[in-house]
Amino acid sequence: MPTIRDFMSDIKATLGLGIDDAEWSDGALAYNVGLNIDLLKKQYLDRRMSRGDDRSVSQEISTFLLPIADETETGRRYFTMPAPVFELAHGGGIAFISYVRTDLPVNCAPQVARVQYSPTTWQELMLIEADPIQRPSKPRPRYIRGSRQRTYLFGQDADIQTLEVGLYLTFPPLTEVDIDQDIPLPAHLIEPLRRMTLQQGNWLMLQPQERLLNDGRANNVGERVPQAPRLISVNDSSQITGND
C-alpha cells in the first residue's frame, strides 16, 4: 500500500509539476487528497453497510475508551467525540457504544456483546419514553448525536463512567496528518483516488495566469479560454470497481 507521500509524489510527477513555474504545494495537494479519500471512503462504507455487509468494513472502525460527562445546563449525560466522524446513513458514523466493565466473571460474554446503545432521535425519544418496553433503560440504552461533538446518553447505568465507542473516522486535519502513513483506503480504491486527484490537477493547470497588463482585455489575442473538464460522479461506472 503506498503512503500518502508516495501518492503525492506520483501525482506531481504525472502532472509534470517538478518545475518552479508549475507548483502545487504539498499542503494544497494533501488537502485535495484528503477530500477525495473521504469521498471515496464514505461511498464505500455506505454501499457495503446498505447491503448489510458490516463484517467487510470492520477494519475501518477506530475504538476509543471515553469518559462520560454531565452537561451543566441540562443535567444530561454525554461523551465528546475524539475526532470528526463520517455522516453515514447507517449509525451516523458510530459503529457501536458499549459499557466498560472489568468486573465480569471469566466465563461471561464480553460487555460489548451484552449491552450496546441504539441510536434514536429527539422526536422518537418523546414517543418511546411513554412505552415501558421501548423506554431507554440499563439493558436497552439509547444515544442521540448532538452539537459541539457531543453524543447524549439515555437509560445508561449510572455506575458506568466510561464507554467503549467504535467510530468511522474521517481523514484527519492537515495539522495532524502523517503523510508517511499508508493511504487509509482499501487497495481497489487507490486507482479511483488517483484519477480524481489528477483531474483536479489538470483543471488547476488550465487556469490562465495573470497577464499584468491593463489594456482592457482579459486574454491575449487569439488565446483560447480554458474549459472546465466534464464532472464525473462518484457513482459513474468508471469510478466503480468490481470489489466495491
Give per-residue pLDDT as tens, 135-157. Answer: 999 889 999 998 878 999 999 88
Q: How many domains does the chain have?
A: 1
Q: Is residue 56 part of a domain?
A: no
Is 116 contained in some domain? yes
Specify if 22 maps to a domain.
Answer: no
Q: Is residue 51 part of a domain?
A: no
Residues in the chain, total? 244
Residue-by-residue pLDDT tens, the chain, 244 positions: 789 989 988 888 887 765 444 567 788 889 989 999 999 999 999 999 888 888 888 999 999 999 999 999 999 999 999 999 999 887 789 999 988 876 666 666 555 556 789 999 999 999 998 888 889 998 899 999 988 789 999 998 888 899 999 999 999 988 888 999 999 999 999 999 999 998 888 776 665 555 555 555 555 666 665 555 565 665 665 555 555 6
Could you tell me if residue 153 is inside a domain? Answer: yes
Q: Is the dihedral of CA 75, 79, 85, 89 positive or negative?
A: negative
> pLDDT value at position 221?
62
Residue (of 225, 106, 99) closest to 159 by Cα position: 99
Is residue 144 in a domain?
yes
What pLDDT sits at residue 136?
A: 94
All three cell numbers of 229, joined, read 473538464
Q: Which three cell numbers stand for residue 107?
A: 466465563
Distance, CA of 134 to CA of 114 (rounded, Å): 17
Q: Is residue 175 part of a domain?
A: no
Q: Is residue 37 a contact partner of residue 193, using CB atoms and an 8 Å limit? A: yes
Amino acid in the structure at residue 107: N
Q: Which residues does residue 153 pair with via DSSP β-bridges, in sequence order?
A: 77, 143
Nearest Cα residue to 104 out of 93, 114, 95: 114
Closest to 3 (Cα-Cα) out of 25, 30, 22? 30
102 to 108, 164, 219: CA distances (angstroms) = 11, 12, 71
Query: pLDDT averaged over the chain?
Result: 81
Query: Residue 151 has what pLDDT?
Result: 94
Domain of 149, in residue numbers: 61-168
User: What are the tens digits of pLDDT across the range 175-200?
Assistant: 888 999 999 999 999 999 999 998 88
Assigned domain for 139 exists: yes
